[in-house]
Amino acid sequence: MTFFKHGRDKRLPLYQQVRDELLENISAGIWLPEKPIPTESELTKSYGVAIGTIRKAVDTLVNDGLLYRSQGRGTFVRRPDFNASLFRFFRQMSSDGRFVMPKSQLLSKTMKQPSKHIADALNLNTRDHAICLERLRFLEERVVLTEEIWLPESLFSRLIDLDLSEFGNLLYPFYEQECGQLIASARETLTIQSANTRIAGALNIAENSPVAVIERVAYGYDKTPLEYRISHGAAETFCYQIEIT
């Protein structure tokens, strides 16, 4: 006999039903990033299924990158490093050759209707409102990135009344702290465009200069889109490198 908290599609294999149940615990914040989940024996008792079923359900979440195993310590919820992802494209060395994580300056926070493109990315209606953040990223005193960030009002309403000074340098831990929204994965698209007047002015480059553009849609553990972000950086600071083996 199985003991599920939520109704499941019994047409699915049992391990997949368990996998979906485990994912609910991650999505709801019951199991937190970098914290161990219950042991396989504990999960077997909780769900009333064979240990092989539990192991296969956990394996699927490990393969999906949502959990990871640590020898001798247990299985943990993974917290992705999104800044490492973004800045693999942009040189971020200081003048003396040290690796530096760019600092942030939040310029504005407004509530407005998104374009159809952004609304579609966030699964919103164009009549819905969203929070729009405009931000600069600095390396030593130079602006290296401009960012426009959109968040669904229904999930991030707590941010509306906060002062700009209360936002941290890293937004994803801030979302988790203030709104209980955990970012688990993201999809990025890279293109090269010409800088318009606003982007050129922010990056201190000539208008129509080439800029690298990275669009990101970030998702929760349940694949709900939580953030749309578009970042622009001067092409001269852009570097794409990949190892093929």
Higher pLDDT, 37 or 139: 37
Tokens 């007047």 belong to residue: 197
Least confident range of 6-15, 22-31, 113-122? 6-15
According to the per-residue pLDDT averaged within each range, which of 89-103, 160-174, 194-208 is highest? 194-208
The yes-or-no verdict on residue 66 having pLDDT over 90 is no
Instruction: Please state, in angstroms and rounded to a whole number, the distance separating the CA atoms of residues 182 and 2.
Output: 29
Q: Which CATH architecture has domain 14-77?
A: Orthogonal Bundle (1.10)
Which residues face 185 on adjacent strands? 219
pTM of the model: 0.74
The packing angle between helices 40-47 and 51-63, to 10°, is 120
Positive or negative CA dihedral for 218, 89, 149, 192? negative
Q: Which amino acid is at 99?
A: F
Task: Tell whether the model's pLDDT for residue 7 goes beyond 60.
Answer: no
Count the Cβ atoms, other than its own, within 10 Å of residue 128.
14
pLDDT score of 33: 83
Domain 82-237 has CATH 3.40.1410.10: yes
Give me the pLDDT at residue 186, please: 87
Classify burial at 179, counting beta carbons within 10 Å of its beta carbon; exposed 0-12, middle 13-18, buried 19 or more.
middle
The whole-angstrom separation of Cα 146 and Cα 142 is 11
For 12-63, how does the pLDDT look when each residue is reduced to its tens digit (9 = 90+)?
889 988 988 898 888 777 888 888 999 999 999 988 899 999 999 999 999 8
Domain ranges of the chain: 14-77, 82-237
**pLDDT value of position 1:** 46
Predicted confidence at residue 203, as pLDDT, reads 94
Alpha helices in the chain (DSSP H): 14-27, 40-47, 51-63, 82-86, 116-121, 153-156, 171-179, 197-203
> For residue 84, what pLDDT is reported?
54
